[in-house]
Structure 1
Amino acid sequence: MLVLLALAIGAIALLAAVKADATWFTIVPLGILFVGSAVGQSLGWFNKKAGD
Protein backbone atom coordinates (compact mmCIF):
# COMPACT_ATOMS: atom_id res chain seq x y z
CA MET A 1 0.00 0.00 0.00
CA LEU A 2 2.91 2.35 0.58
CA VAL A 3 3.93 1.95 -3.05
CA LEU A 4 0.43 2.96 -4.14
CA LEU A 5 0.56 5.96 -1.83
CA ALA A 6 3.92 6.98 -3.29
CA LEU A 7 2.49 6.69 -6.80
CA ALA A 8 -0.50 8.82 -5.83
CA ILE A 9 1.75 11.50 -4.34
CA GLY A 10 3.91 11.40 -7.47
CA ALA A 11 0.79 11.82 -9.60
CA ILE A 12 -0.19 14.87 -7.55
CA ALA A 13 3.26 16.38 -8.12
CA LEU A 14 3.03 15.66 -11.85
CA LEU A 15 -0.44 17.20 -12.04
CA ALA A 16 0.83 20.28 -10.23
CA ALA A 17 3.75 20.56 -12.65
CA VAL A 18 1.44 20.61 -15.67
CA LYS A 19 -1.04 22.93 -13.91
CA ALA A 20 -3.94 20.52 -14.24
CA ASP A 21 -7.52 21.36 -13.31
CA ALA A 22 -8.55 20.79 -9.69
CA THR A 23 -10.83 17.90 -10.62
CA TRP A 24 -7.87 15.80 -11.71
CA PHE A 25 -6.24 16.22 -8.30
CA THR A 26 -9.13 14.21 -6.86
CA ILE A 27 -9.77 11.68 -9.61
CA VAL A 28 -6.23 10.52 -10.40
CA PRO A 29 -4.83 9.86 -6.88
CA LEU A 30 -8.03 8.19 -5.68
CA GLY A 31 -8.13 6.14 -8.86
CA ILE A 32 -4.55 4.98 -8.31
CA LEU A 33 -5.32 3.99 -4.72
CA PHE A 34 -8.65 2.25 -5.36
CA VAL A 35 -7.78 0.50 -8.63
CA GLY A 36 -4.31 -0.41 -7.39
CA SER A 37 -5.64 -1.87 -4.16
CA ALA A 38 -8.36 -3.81 -5.99
CA VAL A 39 -5.81 -5.27 -8.41
CA GLY A 40 -3.38 -6.01 -5.58
CA GLN A 41 -6.06 -7.74 -3.55
CA SER A 42 -7.20 -9.84 -6.51
CA LEU A 43 -3.61 -10.89 -7.20
CA GLY A 44 -3.14 -11.85 -3.54
CA TRP A 45 -0.42 -9.31 -2.78
CA PHE A 46 -1.96 -8.38 0.56
CA ASN A 47 -2.63 -11.91 1.82
CA LYS A 48 -0.35 -12.92 4.65
CA LYS A 49 0.28 -16.61 5.13
CA ALA A 50 -0.28 -18.09 8.59
CA GLY A 51 2.98 -18.36 10.48
CA ASP A 52 4.80 -15.59 8.58
Structure 2
Amino acid sequence: MLVLLVLAIGAIGLLAAMKADAIWFTIVPLGILSFGASVVQSLGWFDKKAGN
Protein backbone atom coordinates (compact mmCIF):
# COMPACT_ATOMS: atom_id res chain seq x y z
CA MET A 1 0.00 0.00 0.00
CA LEU A 2 2.93 2.30 0.65
CA VAL A 3 4.06 1.85 -2.96
CA LEU A 4 0.65 3.00 -4.18
CA LEU A 5 0.87 6.06 -1.95
CA VAL A 6 4.29 6.92 -3.36
CA LEU A 7 2.94 6.53 -6.90
CA ALA A 8 0.01 8.81 -6.10
CA ILE A 9 2.31 11.47 -4.64
CA GLY A 10 4.56 11.18 -7.68
CA ALA A 11 1.54 11.64 -9.93
CA ILE A 12 0.63 14.81 -8.02
CA GLY A 13 4.15 16.12 -8.60
CA LEU A 14 3.93 15.28 -12.29
CA LEU A 15 0.55 16.96 -12.61
CA ALA A 16 1.94 20.06 -10.90
CA ALA A 17 4.89 20.14 -13.30
CA MET A 18 2.48 19.88 -16.23
CA LYS A 19 0.26 22.65 -14.75
CA ALA A 20 -2.81 20.46 -15.00
CA ASP A 21 -6.30 21.56 -14.04
CA ALA A 22 -7.38 21.16 -10.43
CA ILE A 23 -9.80 18.28 -11.12
CA TRP A 24 -6.93 16.03 -12.18
CA PHE A 25 -5.30 16.43 -8.75
CA THR A 26 -8.32 14.59 -7.33
CA ILE A 27 -9.06 12.05 -10.05
CA VAL A 28 -5.58 10.70 -10.75
CA PRO A 29 -4.33 10.01 -7.18
CA LEU A 30 -7.65 8.51 -6.10
CA GLY A 31 -7.72 6.40 -9.24
CA ILE A 32 -4.21 5.13 -8.59
CA LEU A 33 -5.03 4.24 -5.00
CA SER A 34 -8.40 2.60 -5.66
CA PHE A 35 -7.48 0.76 -8.87
CA GLY A 36 -4.11 -0.29 -7.48
CA ALA A 37 -5.61 -1.50 -4.21
CA SER A 38 -8.23 -3.56 -6.02
CA VAL A 39 -5.60 -5.15 -8.26
CA VAL A 40 -3.31 -5.91 -5.33
CA GLN A 41 -6.24 -7.35 -3.35
CA SER A 42 -7.24 -9.58 -6.26
CA LEU A 43 -3.67 -10.84 -6.51
CA GLY A 44 -3.87 -11.85 -2.85
CA TRP A 45 -1.06 -9.65 -1.56
CA PHE A 46 -3.15 -8.46 1.42
CA ASP A 47 -3.97 -11.99 2.61
CA LYS A 48 -2.41 -12.70 5.98
CA LYS A 49 -1.11 -16.22 6.35
CA ALA A 50 -1.98 -18.13 9.51
CA GLY A 51 0.88 -18.19 11.99
CA ASN A 52 2.56 -15.03 10.69
TM-score range relative to shorter protein: over 0.9
Residue segments in structure 2 that go unaligned for 5+ positions in a row: none
Runs of 4+ in 1 over 4 A off after TM superposition: none
Residue segments in structure 1 that go unaligned for 5+ positions in a row: none
TM-score normalised by the chain length of structure 1: 0.97
Aligned length: 52
RMSD: 0.4
Identity among equivalent positions (%) equals 79
TM-score normalised by the chain length of structure 2: 0.97
CA distance in 2, matches of 1:14, 1:32: 14
